[in-house]
A and B are shown apart, each in its own frame.
Chain A
Amino acid sequence: MADAPTPRAARRGAIRLGQRLDRLTFGAALAIGAVVGVSLLVLPSVIVVMTSFTSGYSLKFPPPGYSARWYQALFLDSPEIIDAFILSLKLAASATVISTLFSTAGALALARNPARWARLLDAALMSPLMLPSLALGLGILMLFNLAGQGLSFTTLLIGHIAICSPYILRTASASYAQLDPVLLDCSFSLGASRWHTFVRVELPAILPGIATGAFISFMVSLDNVAMSLFLSDARSEVLPIRLWHIIEDSLDVRAAAASGALIAATLILLLVMEKVAGISRHMK
């Protein structure tokens, strides 16, 4: 009796096999997809960092040997890259501070306002995130030309504020919208003034959102090429444009060292900001 399987048992066996196959193929597909995806995310940065420590004169990968010579060349004999970096830092910091002030104030007025004009204005203010920044850069350049205004640090700063402020508006609005309005009523009914309520209740609640936006804005400004191409004067060259020229013209290995340094700086800043403001919660 035991050796001849009944049709029912055979069917159950086939179903179990099908289930196992289903689970197996799905698991395999997910594993392959995840390994390929995560490699695509991580490997390019790893390859840049490895290349930056090459002992050779070219961007050969894997490098023939390892040394820190290109970092030495970068930090000791490349004043034009260092100058560009300092200019970029100044620009990113200024653009972020001004954008933070403008956008935080804007978020306080807009985020909890359900009126139609407020929603439309909010969408309009976010639009620079979607627009081709070269089109906007060209427009701002023509505006300054029309006004007879020569290019300077200020013109560059204005272009950067235009693209940075939406990021802060977005994160500040999101965290302000989550603030429980009951807290404000409590504060008012306990006799706190408008200003006192802002400083003691609202600001602490939205500060992580503002910090996240400010961090993104700083990195966006540091990265921006489109605005800077149109709006910087002949003497001032920002870091991404300097690197863009180096990579386009000569494939100098110092570009790898500069890239490695930027990756390290981004990683450190990301970890610090996560510790201070828990930014990853606000970026999903």
Chain B
Amino acid sequence: MHTRGNRWLLMPLAAFFVLFVVAPLGLVLGVSLYTDASMGSMGAVQYVKFLGDPFNRQILLETLAQALGAVVLSMAFGYPIAYLYTLLTRGWQRILLFAILLPMLTSSVVRTFAWVVILGREGLINQLALGAGWVEQPLKLLYTQGAVLVAVSQIEMPMMILPLISSLGAIDSRLLDASKALGAGRWRTFIRVILPLSVPGLLAGALLVFAAAASAFVTQTLVGGGRLMFMPFYIYQQAIQSQDYPFAASIAMILLATVLVVVVAINTLGRRSRGFVHG
């Protein structure tokens, strides 16, 4: 009833959003349609240029593969933590929640730096491998695809765990009792009851992790180094270093469109899975 009179409260946020989110993105789209850096004439040349070059397609595919890989890894490592959370007492739940929130809120430069230390020439992994006599020379771990994947997955893991915790917490415990009473063991109950009912949480987490991993600029540049190229840095490089705004804008649009397609796909799946859980 009273919401009607409240509409004017929306004005500052909506105006800001139109001016500094909608308009800039429209501008990116517009500039991406110029044929060259001097912005003389228009056409879809930049997109043809991007998609026609195998080097560029490789960058796009690797960015996508990294982000999807991060979704899978964060699920694999995050699930046991979220499940553990549901088994703990209140006090331990609080402690575990802090262990999840602290890294989530810590600067991503700091968390990336942790991986630089762990994977470096004199880092933890190399010290362990050398100490155990497995290798003679320090391994080159930094600046590899695998290193970026592991670091991004670990950094985005809290975004997977939090929605999983709320989705696991919403499961009716009588269903678990029923499964047990009907003779199902732990594994069977987990696979047939708990896992399907936690799909909404998995999808919500997948959405957040994918979006974050696809634009994990800091981790991609610091753990990936100069030789590995991902879409976010490519945008920056073309815009600032090469001053080729139309090409940078087209890369940004392609990244945006790709992320949007995946986000919409996951969202659609999510809506269906919620229907499945409640219906």
Q: Within the assembled complex, what's the spacing in Å between the Cα atoms of A19 and B188? A: 11
Q: Is the CB of A47 within 8 A of B24?
A: no
Which B residues, 49 to 78, have Cβ-Cβ distances below 8 Å to chain A? 77-78
Which of these, B2, B14, B78, contacts A121 with CB under 8 Å? Answer: B14
Q: Is the CB of B101 within 8 A of A270?
A: yes
* Residues of A contacting B: mostly: helix
Collect the chain A residues with CB atoms within 8 Å of residue B17's CB.
124-125, 162
Q: What residue of chain B has the Cβ atom nearest to residue A146's Cβ?
A: B27
Q: Within the assembled complex, what's the spacing in Å between the Cα atoms of A232 and B220? A: 21
Q: Within the assembled complex, what's the spacing in Å between the Cα atoms of A61 and B21? A: 44
Minimum distance in angstroms from A232 CB to a CB of chain B: 12
* A76 in the interface (beta carbon within 8 A): no
Q: Is the CB of B252 within 8 A of A109?
A: no
* B205 in the interface (beta carbon within 8 A): no
Q: Within the assembled complex, what's the spacing in Å between the Cα atoms of A269 and B194? A: 35
Collect the chain B residues with CB atoms within 8 Å of residue A216's CB.
105
Q: Within the assembled complex, what's the spacing in Å between the Cα atoms of A229 and B17? A: 21
* B206 in the interface (beta carbon within 8 A): no
> How many A residues have CB within 8 A of the partner chain?
94
* B148 in the interface (beta carbon within 8 A): no
With A40-B154, A108-B6 known to touch, is A30 a contact of B215 (CB < 8 Å)? no
> How many B residues have CB within 8 A of the partner chain?
92
Which of these, B107, B108, B186, contacts A23 with CB under 8 Å? Answer: B186
Q: What residue of chain A has the Cβ atom nearest to residue B2's Cβ?
A: A184
Number of CB contacts from chain A to chain B under 8 A: 280
Q: What residue of chain B has the Cβ atom nearest to residue A163's Cβ?
A: B21
* B44 in the interface (beta carbon within 8 A): no
With A109-B10, A165-B16 known to touch, is A139 a contact of B77 (CB < 8 Å)? no
With A139-B24, A256-B117 known to touch, is A132 a contact of B78 (CB < 8 Å)? no
Q: Is the CB of A143 within 8 A of B83?
A: no
* A262 in the interface (beta carbon within 8 A): yes
* A277 in the interface (beta carbon within 8 A): no
Minimum distance in angstroms from A245 CB to a CB of chain B: 10
Minimum distance in angstroms from B147 CB to a CB of chain A: 13
Q: Is the CB of B99 within 8 A of A41?
A: yes
Q: Within the assembled complex, what's the spacing in Å between the Cα atoms of A263 and B157? A: 18
Which B residues, 106 to 147, have Cβ-Cβ distances below 8 Å to chain A? 106-118, 120, 122-124, 127
Q: Within the assembled complex, what's the spacing in Å between the Cα atoms of A201 and B27? A: 43
Which of these, B7, B107, B248, contacts A138 with CB under 8 Å? Answer: B248
Minimum distance in angstroms from B6 CB to a CB of chain A: 4
Q: Is the CB of B259 within 8 A of A262?
A: no
Collect the chain B residues with CB atoms within 8 Å of residue A102's CB.
12-13, 16
Collect the chain A residues with CB atoms within 8 Å of residue B271's CB.
none
Q: Within the assembled complex, what's the spacing in Å between the Cα atoms of A130 and B255? A: 12
Collect the chain B residues with CB atoms within 8 Å of residue A240's CB.
107-109, 218
Q: Mark A29-71, 1 if CB is under 8 A from B, else 0.
A: 1101110111011101101100100000011111000000000
Minimum distance in angstroms from B244 CB to a CB of chain A: 12
Which A residues, 169 to 210, have Cβ-Cβ distances below 8 Å to chain B? 169, 184, 194
Q: Is the CB of A225 within 8 A of B78?
A: no
Q: Is the CB of B186 within 8 A of A26?
A: yes
Which of these, B23, B186, B235, B245, contacts A22 with CB under 8 Å? Answer: B186
Q: Within the assembled complex, what's the spacing in Å between the Cα atoms of A29 and B190? A: 12
With A105-B12, A108-B6, A134-B215 known to touch, is A30 a contact of B110 (CB < 8 Å)? no
With A129-B211, A135-B255, A140-B24 known to touch, is A37 a contact of B113 (CB < 8 Å)? no
Minimum distance in angstroms from A12 CB to a CB of chain B: 13
Q: Is the CB of A138 within 8 A of B84?
A: no
Minimum distance in angstroms from A267 CB to a CB of chain B: 6
Q: What residue of chain A has the Cβ atom nearest to residue B100's Cβ?
A: A41
Collect the chain A residues with CB atoms within 8 Å of residue B162's CB.
283-284
Q: Is the CB of A262 within 8 A of B107?
A: yes
With A44-B154, A222-B107 known to touch, is A105 a contact of B10 (CB < 8 Å)? yes
Q: Within the assembled complex, what's the spacing in Å between the Cα atoms of A27 and B27? A: 55
With A23-B185, A132-B255, A136-B24 known to touch, is A109 a contact of B103 (CB < 8 Å)? no
Minimum distance in angstroms from A58 CB to a CB of chain B: 6
Q: Within the assembled complex, what's the spacing in Å between the Cα atoms of A184 and B94? A: 33
Collect the chain B residues with CB atoms within 8 Å of residue A121's CB.
10, 14
Q: What residue of chain B has the Cβ atom nearest to residue A56's Cβ?
A: B122
Which B residues, 167 to 220, have Cβ-Cβ distances below 8 Å to chain A? 169, 185-188, 190, 207, 211, 214-215, 217-218
* B28 in the interface (beta carbon within 8 A): yes
Q: Mark A9-22, 1 if CB is under 8 A from B, else 0.
A: 00000000011001
Which of these, A27, A51, A165, A269, contacts B13 with CB under 8 Å? Answer: A165
Collect the chain B residues with CB atoms within 8 Å of residue A86's CB.
none
Q: Is the CB of B114 within 8 A of A132?
A: no
21 contacts across the A-B interface (CB closer than 8 A): A22-B186, A30-B80, A33-B77, A33-B80, A33-B83, A38-B96, A59-B116, A59-B122, A101-B12, A109-B8, A127-B21, A132-B231, A134-B236, A135-B255, A138-B28, A141-B239, A161-B20, A222-B107, A225-B218, A240-B109, A259-B107
Give the 7 A-B residue pairs with the shortest CB-CB distance, closest first. A33-B80, A139-B24, A44-B114, A22-B185, A26-B186, A106-B13, A132-B215
